[in-house]
Chains A and B, each alone.
Chain A
């Protein structure tokens, strides 16, 4: 018997989901005069009576004060009836029911089943659904509304007819049959067809290597062997492009790399560690899930930033949700398990005002993408209780088909727990969520769903996370870690058990009993179990004598743990399913057998073109335009949806100043409640510079990330950085050339700033192809985008500084050199100017400057400090003023050796390594002494009248009240 409980807002309560639907529908061209919504629960049980269902509704599901419940058997007309009083005329109202597709995670159903069982009704199966009643749409328009606003085809389906089923279709079983893939005799074309159609995405040389290997053995590979090799050799798991052979030339030099990343970015870190010798504070770099550095006498910090771009393009909420979940598992799988402390999120979107009718087919509207991504990250981070403390959002039309979603996390881990070493004979234990068909490419199936017809899951890569499951896993994992119950742990990310077990067993060998894996539902083949990317799972290496205690720890936290196999010292990966051997591969083939591919990389600098800044009497309008440009404008709408204070360690928040109305430079967190030591998180990203010079973009991103941290008080001698390269198709030599140029700049800048890279992650092939109105194939490639994330440290958080002006009368100092570097600037953006030179960097000099400034901050000489980035000096001064509720007067003629530059250059150039500092007039001598030897100019003062004035001698170039400046900054993304 199938029952349904619908939950409506009471008639005297507003229907907010309906209001939001009417608004978003209107923004995309639908006129919906009235709408109503309900959430529904389907309950299947042979044992439930009508009274039981009514009791479940009242006791558990419906809030009697603000909600109204309708409980009935599925098919009862009462369930389809339009809610009373929401519509003037019920006659034309249509009901749209939205359901999850088969196999898609439904976290609510699990809790609901448990709660119903505790109420005294065990064995009830629950599915959730959403219902929407709309007025004023014919059937075609209603379908269109459902497609664009209500249901995402990747995970959901909808219907306009009322539900009529009387049971969930039972899942079909699975009959074992060993599958082999015939490789012998395939020519090159045949191999490539197999690679493509089997979704292996291997290159010809790789397919040939596999063919030769099995030819020699005299047998064909099983399907799961081929899948395992494809997963291990995939770009995602092995970074074969950037860690591969590359022949690079840029007109001045030709370099041949054996391993490009190792010879550029890793090499700089290795060189720094060599220089530091005994005082090296890096612990583990480019090895584990995250890079690890020393924090204090007892603990280390680890840091990782992941990308989750392709899933977020298909299903923004699920993609971003599992992106956050995935990076948290990276932290949990670092060493013997680190505790997640805080997160950073950076997004790149097409502008939200993109006209809906200009979108290519298959592209979601940027506004919908933004909503989904922000909510997906929010719901994972908030629910797991990890504060999101830092972030950035970049807009560019070229992110239309490929939005970028970067999720990062910092973890805390004791020194003694920072390394893992699985031992021969250890049990392979899976812990956490169950395995389903989630994330299996191209899987088609029918199970556990309402309709009897088969459904195909179009977005095989798309999943929804279950943050609470992962919170339970975290609680159990840290307890087990502290009791020493396992020797190694890693997360199940891309590739599922295949990559987790393959990685852990690389030096030993492993035997896996696939039939032991707990499944969400029946019917999975041995291959599906092995490669499923179902979320919230970790794999542990457990000495047999600890198994019973581990099992108890997991039971105490309501977490499932299962023995999957054993690390056998054979050097081979053997997979069995109910005793049948389905794979037998040497670990060496998986990890060292991939043939090297040499790629061509060419960088040709664009032809230099001058940028002539217009000469004006007054630049106030330019300043207002930059403050209101999307990259600069306030992100408060996002920030306020993220819990940035859970765990109780918040010191410098994302928004600072009077009423928290100004943009902080970097976040500061005290990860240990009984310690004053802080960690600092900042980031740098500016794809606009990359159009002019990817090398300058890389240097600028690193400098900005470091500068952000220094501005709040981080010690420049203890800042570590991460790289995330998001690029287009690197099979194109020019695209790869731009990346290599950026990587070389990363090497040089890291050495100059003495700032080590400790980990990184790349995402290539961010290009979107579609047919335009004339049937021509068009490709949009994202701008080369490098995100640099920085993690700093501060001895005592009491020395930290924020960017809001503190007191009228203080002196303002510009620190650092200003150059004619308006190329890629926001002044150029809002003025429609092209050409010019992107900001360069003298990294050695910047390092010295930051050290000197840090000394001044440590002496308490700096009351406010803000880094100069987008919009340069004028924007920094404006932000400091409105954040502090005070005015400021600046005279740009006092800019020392830069005073000869044109006025707009002095105000808006985005030269790196510059900061604006507020200094008490009593401290100016000591401040100047601390900065001796570096560019440091007293450029103005803080004033009581709340007005920003920038003058050049007697000529006033900018004059505006600070509320007007603030409003220009706050308004554009105030959603």
Chain B
């Protein structure tokens, strides 16, 4: 199998594309950052790659709502190309703003005939929150989380609270293995704020589609691929690579 190619999508205001491409390269992929303008002009660029990652930042300033404007472009103008991409068994990852973008499209299977099943909205604190969190995984077929039980990663967002349309919808998404990443308390107990940094019901930090190949998450795995990125690395002096690298390695391994 040739080296998988990852396409890291950026738009005006995206600002995590360089370190995200770096993380894919560390994991063994070829990675290229590409502007939405270029992709809109030439959607066939997707045919040559295996992973599409929508990177974090403030696409179009998050004006109107986080990820909304880019999500609209993706939905209106890349619908066919992305359906083909997904149906070809390829992977789509949305990190932070990328998750917010995915949530404004139909790629996460988060809508039905009555409209969206869930959304990402303002943190309960009412503020932007930049802090490290503990996360645990829930059983799922999510490709990116294979083999991961618990992980620490940083979050940095103001609109990361995952809210489902109603309690029944949330329960059904949970039971369907569609909410595979959850905020957790360091001691294993119930994660109150700030362990759950945004107040998401059921402590949801990420969601995937029914196939497990499209995944969006609020935490930033690309910010923990080097041991010195962990906030307590001077206490442990561990040489192990950052745990976030595993998500990117899972993507590469999927095509191995």
Contact = CB atoms under 8 A, between A and B. Distances in A.
Given A107-B63, A383-B58, A646-B16, A118 B132 contact: no
Contacts of A659: 186
Nearest to B130: A643
Contacts of B164: 65
Interface in A63-117: 63-66, 107-108, 110-112, 114-115
B128 A382 contact: yes
B110 to A, nearest CB: 10
A557 B61 contact: no
Interface string B173-193: 000000000000010000000
B62 to A, nearest CB: 8
Interface stretch (B44-52, B86-94, B204-212, B227-235): B227-235
A556 B37 contact: yes
Interface string B50-78: 00000011101111110011001100110
A409 to B, nearest CB: 15
A186 interface: no
A645 B12 contact: no
B35 A647 contact: no
A651 B122 CA distance: 29
Contacts of B57: 385
A31 to B, nearest CB: 22
A90 to B, nearest CB: 26
Nearest to B19: A648
A640 B68 CA distance: 25
Contacts of A650: 223, 229
Interface string A790-808: 0000000110111010100
Interface string A373-389: 00000100011110000
B165 interface: yes
A658 B232 CA distance: 7
B72 A645 contact: no
Contact of B126 (A16, A642, A655, A658): A16
A624 B79 CA distance: 61
A66 B72 CA distance: 18
Given A63-B65, A65-B116, A648 B22 contact: yes
A368 to B, nearest CB: 16
Contact of A60 (B37, B64, B117, B127): B64
Interface in A643-697: 643-648, 650-653, 655-660, 670, 673-674
A119 interface: yes
The residue in B121, B128, B186, B231 that gathers the most chain A C-beta atoms within 10 A of its C-beta is B231
Interface in A553-583: 556-558
B235 A658 contact: yes
B18 interface: yes
B207 to A, nearest CB: 13
B57 to A, nearest CB: 6
B68 A60 contact: yes
Given A645-B223, A647-B19, A673-B22, A800 B234 contact: yes
Nearest to B165: A65
A66 B228 CA distance: 39
A65 B119 contact: yes
Contacts of B23: 648
Contacts of B12: 468, 471-472, 557-558
A466 interface: yes
Chain A interface size, as a band, is 35 or more
A640 B129 CA distance: 5
A895 interface: no
Contacts of A556: 35, 37-38
B163 interface: yes
Given A108-B64, A111-B69, A670-B228, A804 B154 contact: no
B81 interface: no
Given A385-B57, A645-B154, A647-B19, A801 B72 contact: no
B118 interface: yes
Contacts of B32: none
B60 A468 contact: yes
Contacts of A643: 128, 130, 156
Interface string B137-168: 00000000000000000101000000111000
Contact of B122 (A16, A110, A652, A658): A16
Contacts of B73: 118
A648 B21 CA distance: 11
Nearest to B197: A640
A59 interface: yes
A420 B63 CA distance: 36
A639 B126 CA distance: 15
Interface in A38-68: 59-61, 63-66
Contact of B15 (A16, A17, A471): A471
Contacts of B234: 652, 656, 800-802, 804, 806
A646 B118 CA distance: 27
A557 B69 CA distance: 16
B229 A648 contact: yes
B98 to A, nearest CB: 14
B112 to A, nearest CB: 12
B128 A641 contact: yes
Contacts of B154: 645
A472 B13 CA distance: 7
Given A660-B231, A670-B228, A645 B37 contact: no
A468 B57 CA distance: 10
Contacts of A804: 234-235
B19 A111 contact: no
A119 B129 CA distance: 32
A118 B76 contact: yes
Contacts of A17: 126
B83 interface: no
Nearest to B57: A385
B72 A119 contact: yes
Contact of A645 (B38, B156, B232): B156
A20 interface: yes
B31 to A, nearest CB: 12
Contacts of A846: none
A385 B16 contact: yes
A659 B99 CA distance: 27
A364 to B, nearest CB: 21
Interface in A191-208: none
Contacts of A648: 16, 18-19, 22-23, 222-223, 225-226, 229
A660 B132 contact: yes
Contact of A646 (B15, B72, B131): B15
B32 to A, nearest CB: 15
Interface string B20-36: 00110000000000010
Contacts of A645: 130, 154, 156, 220, 223, 229
B6 to A, nearest CB: 16
Contact of B61 (A65, A108, A385): A108
A59 B12 CA distance: 21
Contacts of B256: none
A812 interface: no
Interface in A393-442: none
Contacts of B117: 65
Contact of B18 (A119, A557, A647): A647
A558 B37 contact: yes
Nearest to B70: A115
Given A384-B15, A802-B235, 8 more contacts: A63-B65, A66-B163, A107-B63, A114-B60, A118-B76, A645-B223, A646-B15, A648-B226
10 contacts: A60-B69, A63-B65, A65-B116, A66-B121, A118-B73, A639-B130, A640-B131, A645-B156, A646-B19, A648-B22
Would you list the 6 A-B pairs with minimal beta carbon distance, nearest first?
Answer: A385-B15, A648-B19, A111-B63, A65-B119, A468-B61, A468-B13
Interface of A: 13, 16-17, 20, 59-61, 63-66, 107-108, 110-112, 114-115, 118-119, 378, 382-385, 466-468, 471-472, 556-558, 639-648, 650-653, 655-660, 670, 673-674, 797-798, 800-802, 804, 806
